[in-house]
């Protein structure tokens, strides 16, 4: 597998405080990598390190095959676009003028592609309207547009939906998906809004106290958060016997409650239980959410 970014035992300390502590992560090419962690977990510090805004205390990272200690890392960073903390926009300028300023900063020879970038983020019709009069969602999209100047193929977004209303969140989500699927841009997105990340991410990195606790693909997470049917019966010993005969996986919680990990033929199971005089009291589909998985994972870490 090709990786856009790999970090190895990355550390960043501030007067004894370990903001990033032995952090190792792997961002595959073409992925939408969701970096999940509560505020203060080290997400923004990590992003500042890989963007070259700060230097690590120790450890290293590799960006497009170049180590951060190599002089050529500058060439790799040219393939990156980033929105760190808040979008860097000029409030008294229009969308177009903001982008033109970024073209100048990057030393690009012309404004070719400017209109395409504005159209890509849905700001092509803002005309002479200044950024100070934009909604928060529009400002966030303008920040992403500025990050897209220079045609990067790796986009880093730090809490891009923070503070947005539901419509703004939807717009940013659709934009990220479009950039990934249509433009083949790899995206690293940090957030503490777990439900929103679950609608985007192809890969996850769970970060706590400056380190990656677990990395997994969306498919692996879905398997870990697999759905089940929570059953209440008059006797789970009988339920266990019947399920064993059917070759169905289950987990018993008490004398009356159990989780069944399979698509159940309700009629067949009910009839089989009835032969042993076991009654079905209730059945409810149940699935662990990303949020509950995260809470259980972090709880497990704290108890180690």
Residue-wise DSSP of 73-128: HHHHHTTEEEE-SS----TTSBHHHHHHHHHHHTT-SS-TTHHHHHHHTT-TT-TT
pLDDT, one tens digit per residue, over 70-89 is 999 999 999 999 999 888 89
The per-residue pLDDT for range 180-206, each reduced to its tens digit, is 999 999 999 998 888 888 899 999 999
**pLDDT of 302 over the 60 cut:** no
Q: CA–CA separation, 37 vs 215, rounded Å?
A: 12
Tokens of 17: 């405080």
Band of residue 130 on the pLDDT scale cut at 50, 70, 90: very high
Which domains are assigned to the chain?
Answer: 3-223 (3.40.50.300), 227-287 (3.30.70.100)
Beta carbons within 10 angstroms of residue 160's beta carbon: 27
Which segments of 194-235 are extended strands (E)?
203-208, 211-217, 227-233
Residues 32-77 pLDDT 10s? 999 998 888 999 999 999 999 999 999 999 999 999 999 999 999 9
> Residue 288: what pLDDT?
66
pTM over 0.85: no
pLDDT for the residue numbered 304: 38
């Amino acid at each position: 597998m090709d990786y856009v970014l790999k970090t190895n035992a990355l550390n960043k300390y501030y007067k004894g405080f370990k903001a990033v502590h032995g952090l190792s992560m792997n961002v595959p090419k073409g992925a939408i990598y969701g970096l999940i962690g509560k505020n203060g977990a080290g997400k923004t510090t990590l992003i500042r390190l890989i963007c070259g805004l700060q230097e690590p205390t120790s450890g290293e990272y590799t960006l497009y095959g170049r180590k951060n200690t190599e002089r050529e890392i500058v060439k790799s960073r040219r393939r990156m676009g980033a929105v760190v903390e808040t979008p860097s926009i000029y409030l008294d300028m229009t969308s177009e003028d903001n982008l033109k300023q970024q073209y100048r900063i990057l030393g690009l020879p012309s404004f070719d592609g400017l209109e395409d970038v504005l159209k890509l983020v849905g700001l092509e019709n803002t005309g002479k309207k200044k950024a100070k009069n934009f909604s928060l969602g529009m400002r966030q999209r303008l920040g992403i547009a500025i990050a897209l100047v220079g045609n990067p193929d790796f986009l880093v977004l730090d809490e891009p939906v923070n503070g947005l209303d539901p419509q703004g969140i939807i717009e940013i989500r659709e934009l990220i998906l479009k950039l990934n699927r249509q433009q083949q841009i790899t995206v690293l997105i940090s957030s503490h809004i777990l439900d929103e990340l679950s609608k985007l991410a192809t890969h996850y990195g769970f970060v706590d106290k400056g380190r990656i606790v677990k990395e997994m693909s969306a498919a692996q997470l879905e398997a870990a958060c697999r759905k089940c049917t929570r059953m209440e019966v008059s006797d789970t010993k009988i339920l266990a016997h019947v399920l064993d005969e059917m070759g169905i996986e289950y987990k018993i919680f008490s004398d009356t409650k159990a989780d069944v990990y399979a698509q159940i033929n309700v009629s067949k199971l009910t009839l089989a239980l009835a032969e042993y005089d076991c009654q079905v009291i209730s059945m409810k589909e149940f699935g662990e959410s990303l949020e509950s998985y995260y809470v259980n994972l972090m709880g497990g870490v704290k108890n180690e």
